[in-house]
Amino acid sequence: MRSEPLEVEPNLRNEPSRVLRNAILLIAILIPVFPVARVYYWQHALPRWYLAYAANELAAERVDSATRTLDRSIEMDPSIASDLHYWRLRLDLLLGQKELPDEKIEEFIAHAFEQLERIESLPLRAAVSDWIASRLLQERQAPAAVRIMSHFFPSIAERTPVQNNDLAYARAIARVNLDLASKEIDAALRKTNERNSGFLDTKAWVLHLQGKNQLAQEFSQAAIELLYRDLSAVNRNLADAFYPDAKIELIRDELEAEGLEKEKTKAAEGLKMLSAVTESQVDQQLRMIAVLRHHRASILEALGEEEGAALDRLWLRLFGFHDTESLI
């Protein structure tokens, strides 16, 4: 028996299948999109992936690989110069070395100058340089911080109050150009509508380094009083937990005798009970108070007022700030 041919629908016999038709349509859409996607991936996505990879390599202590990967990322995408994650990794590589010879600092500064110049936005360039300098300052690299900020910040008159304060303070820590630092912090104070305890402390420290300790003491006292007043404005218990002068004065005899360790425990427990701030905020606030008290103690000692200085030194011992050289 001869088989009859199968009946096939005319549209399936004479036209491509639906799958093939959809594939052709997809290719037609992707043809113009693919070059754009390829450029985006190559110029932006891949360099960002390199940043993440460099972080993993650094965490695994593969320093050479992390360095090469960071170099590759910024070569592929110059806009990474404005990415703080990139600079965080660069600084971790630099500052994580056991020995930090001057030539390594010079290499980093040269690299920073070259890459930051690529940032077209001047305000963004200044902001990134300020962040880099702040990190260098924390790691006791004040001269390098001064060089970076002074190179990328606008003129004194055009700077923000924060920029003038930061550069003045860096100069004070580096002990360079104190007369210029005085002009910068004065400009910051003039431009600030509200009093700022950090700015007042910078002014005090610059004056101290210039040997003008009587005036420095006035600014230092004002800085500490303002800081505790601001804390009280947030929460009265907050200021009390950070032990203002009156509280330290009240228990001074006990602390100087045998009660310091007991009071340390009490102070730590009091800070843990604070609900208005997080643990990181507590640490940040404690450190700021410690810096201001260390500065005031140094100024009072220069004036021969040992009793007043001892009060601040007692506070520093109470909260565990024994290495005053690190209080920057």
pLDDT confidence band for 149 (50 / 70 / 90)? very high
pLDDT in tens, 271-322: 887 766 677 788 889 999 999 999 999 999 999 999 999 999 999 999 999 8
The predicted structure's pLDDT at residue 55: 86
The predicted structure's pLDDT at residue 102: 86
Cα separation of 278 and 297, whole Å?
Answer: 28
Domain membership flag for residue 25: no
Asked if 128 and 209 sit in the same domain, the reply is no
pLDDT confidence band for 18 (50 / 70 / 90)? low
CA dihedral 22, 27, 32, 34 (to 10 degrees): 120
Asked if 144 and 81 sit in the same domain, the reply is no
Cα separation of 116 and 106, whole Å?
Answer: 15
The predicted structure's pLDDT at residue 233: 84
Asked if 304 and 228 sit in the same domain, the reply is yes
Q: Pick 8 or 19 by higher pLDDT.
A: 19
| Counted domains in the chain | 3
pLDDT confidence band for 162 (50 / 70 / 90)? very high
pLDDT confidence band for 53 (50 / 70 / 90)? confident
The predicted structure's pLDDT at residue 13: 45
Average pLDDT over every residue of 121-149:
94
The set of residues, in sequence order, having a beta carbon less than 8 Å from that of 188 and lying 6+ positions away, is 161, 162, 164, 165, 168, 199, 202
Cα separation of 243 and 232, whole Å?
Answer: 12
Domain membership flag for residue 177: yes
Cα separation of 150 and 154, whole Å?
Answer: 8
The predicted structure's pLDDT at residue 12: 43
- The conformation of residue 6, written as its DSSP 8-state character, comes to P
- Please tell me the pTM assigned to this model: 0.81
Asked if 310 and 261 sit in the same domain, the reply is yes
Domain membership flag for residue 104: no
Comparing 31-45, 102-116, 235-249, which segment has the lowest mean pLDDT?
Answer: 31-45
Asked if 204 and 314 sit in the same domain, the reply is yes
Closest CA to 298 of 195, 201, 185, 169: 201
**Model confidence at 115: pLDDT above 90:** yes
Asked if 199 and 187 sit in the same domain, the reply is no
Cα separation of 67 and 55, whole Å?
Answer: 10
Asked if 173 and 226 sit in the same domain, the reply is no
The predicted structure's pLDDT at residue 271: 82
The predicted structure's pLDDT at residue 34: 41
To 5 degrees, how large is the angle CA 108–CA 324–CA 174? 40
Residue type, 122: L
Domain membership flag for residue 278: yes
Domain boundary among 192, 220, 245: 192
pLDDT in tens, 72-97: 888 888 888 998 999 999 999 888 88
Asked if 247 and 320 sit in the same domain, the reply is yes
The set of residues, in sequence order, having a beta carbon less than 8 Å from that of 157 and lying 6+ positions away, is 187
The predicted structure's pLDDT at residue 109: 95
- The conformation of residue 150, written as its DSSP 8-state character, comes to H
The predicted structure's pLDDT at residue 177: 95
Domain boundary among 192, 216, 238: 192
- Domain holding 327, by residue range, is 194-328
Average pLDDT over every residue of 135-155:
94
Asked if 178 and 58 sit in the same domain, the reply is no
Cα separation of 7 and 270, whole Å?
Answer: 89
Domain membership flag for residue 321: yes
**Model confidence at 172: pLDDT above 50:** yes
Asked if 321 and 208 sit in the same domain, the reply is yes
| Contact between 110 and 147 (Cβ < 8 Å) | no
Asked if 257 and 320 sit in the same domain, the reply is yes
Asked if 160 and 242 sit in the same domain, the reply is no
Both structure tokens of 152: 């990328």
C-beta atoms surrounding 101 within 10 Å: 9
pLDDT in tens, 184-234: 999 999 998 778 999 999 999 999 999 999 999 999 999 999 999 988 887
Query: What is the chain's mean pLDDT, rounded?
Result: 84
Domain membership flag for residue 157: yes
Domain boundary among 192, 212, 236: 192
